[in-house]
Amino acid sequence: MKRIFLLTAFILLLVHPVLADKGPVIWQDDVNLSQDSQKAIIAHNGSEEIMILGTEMKASREVEVLEFIPFPSEPAVQAAGGDPFEAISALIAQKGLVFFRSGGFTAKGGQDGEGAVSPVEIRFSRKIGLHDVTVVRIHDVAEFRNWCEKFFKEKGIQADHDRLSRVYDNARDYTRRGYTYFVFDRVKVSGETRFVEPLLYSFKSGRIYYPLKTSNLIGGNGAVELVLLLPGSFMDDVWQNIRGLFDLSKRPGIELSSSSKIYRRELQPAGILEGFFAPGSKIYMQVLRYKGAYSFKDDLSYDIGRLKPYAYRFESTRWHGQNKEFTPAFTREEVRDLREFFCPKSGDPAYVFAMLDYNLDCWSFIPNEEYEVYAAIFRNPPSGVPRRDVVLGRMTIKNEVKGPKITFDRELVKDFNEKNRVSLPLENAFPDDSRPLVTLEGDTSRNVLPGTGKTYVSRVGFDKKRTRALVYVDHAAGPRLGMSCYITLGKKNGAWEVADSIMAAVH
């Protein structure tokens, strides 16, 4: 049976992040380095990952530490700026995530390497705050030892072969699995716990990646806490094949939190991900936590395509035939994401029980693509249609294209007329970047200028290729002032644009 734990303990810890997984290497004798916990923020937009690693370390005396981080592709490195961990901690508290204690996690890493140019290639070398950062690409791991000896000598580091043998072993293991990019981060650690400005690494990857095996360099026990900002959620199937990652004989504690939908505007206070997620992107926040021995068998490397594009919740046990209950409750926006995923599959027997479990109403569902069309109209509307401060009626209006004076593509007309036989309720499901443009009638969350009038829209008709769209718009600017028109749109470079409009009536 799963147990639920509020995330308050994590929030308190996260305000002061400690050593993320960097495989620390010390070269002075008689020095003890503590690594009680690792924390990181991982954001992924489907093709690129941002990994923010905050560092708080303590040694038995002042010492310089060289941190060793492998990457699946060449990373760009910069200071994160601000306090991203505190900002993300506040967001976690706001969303009320909870932990579910159960099972474990699997990952298989690696991408094919490319041909050798030189044994070890320096791709980046720069001082970033208190960090002395060097990014290298290993083309020939057999020459890595010789390169390291020269590199350490240039940095004034005296280290014997035995002390660094585990670094070479790790490098061989990662290059064998296709990881050829590595970061050396040199920092000074004192006898007091000290926070070092976090670094931000960005790199191309089709997988969610976090290096765990380098923790084996320091050994001992500790915790790993990862805040994930992803285009979907980990679900229960994430616990399958756990033996590929953790040493279960040491009985580690592994927890996965619920996930919560967030928006680009909510990430703005963190000041770290501006422009990373595209307008209208679906973003879910979730936390993965591990506590146990630093004795990992593999790294976290999870196919981004396996995420589910809706929220993950704890499922309560109910009697057969009763609706299931979920903790915490789904928000209205999260229910919409469930409908977006399941409603188009309503005729598929494989999804019938899931739709019953989630108690989804698919009859009145209007897909997200239609809201994207609405938003495009009000961004650049034809004459007579309001551009900003648009107040939409809460129901679509019924309409039928007919008569010789109005001629459109037959496919468009057929889809349009079939959809607009009935009136359906609209939701606040407009793309994240267009919400300031549109307010639904009765919504008191925004102040709308008086005299704005009211606008009504039909359902959206599409052609078979879904590259052309047709909408009927009726705008009433006042009691005796208004107009209605048919608007056609085309899709260019993945975005909808108004193509033409035909006046239907003036009133």
For residues 375 and 363, is the Cβ–Cβ distance under 8 A?
no
If residue 185 lies in a helix (H) or strand (E), which one and from where to where?
strand 181-189
**Measuring CA to CA, which residue among 463, 453, 460 is closest to residue 486?**
460
- Token pair of 362 as six digits: 């698919």
Q: Is the bond preceding residue 328 a cis peptide, omega within 30 degrees?
A: yes
Give whole-number Cα distances, 202 to 44, 74, 171, 271, 283, in Å. 10, 8, 21, 15, 18
Sequential pLDDT tens for the chain (507 residues): 344 433 433 333 333 333 445 554 444 444 444 445 678 899 999 999 999 986 555 544 555 667 778 999 999 998 887 778 888 888 888 888 887 654 433 322 223 333 335 677 777 777 777 677 888 888 888 888 888 878 877 777 766 666 677 778 888 888 888 888 888 887 765 555 455 568 899 999 999 999 888 777 766 777 788 899 999 999 877 766 555 677 666 777 788 889 999 988 888 766 668 889 987 789 999 998 888 887 888 888 899 999 999 999 887 655 545 667 788 889 989 999 999 999 988 878 888 888 888 888 888 999 999 999 999 999 889 988 887 778 899 999 999 998 766 678 888 999 999 999 999 999 988 876 655 578 888 776 655 555 567 899 999 999 999 999 999 999 987 777 788 999 999 999 888 999 999 988 887
CA distance 146 to 160: 12
- Token pair of 409 as six digits: 């593509």
For residues 200 and 264, is the Cβ–Cβ distance under 8 A?
no
CA distance 174 to 180: 7
If residue 84 lies in a helix (H) or strand (E), which one and from where to where?
helix 84-95
Q: Are strands 37-44 and 221-230 parallel, antiparallel or unpaired?
A: parallel
For residues 96 and 221, is the Cβ–Cβ distance under 8 A?
no
**Measuring CA to CA, which residue among 152, 154, 141, 153 is closest to residue 70?**
141
**Measuring CA to CA, which residue among 351, 359, 261 is closest to residue 311?**
261
- The whole-model pTM stands at 0.76
If residue 146 lies in a helix (H) or strand (E), which one and from where to where?
helix 144-154
Burial label, 406 (beta-carbon count in 10 A; 0-12, 13-18, 19+): exposed
CA distance 498 to 436: 19
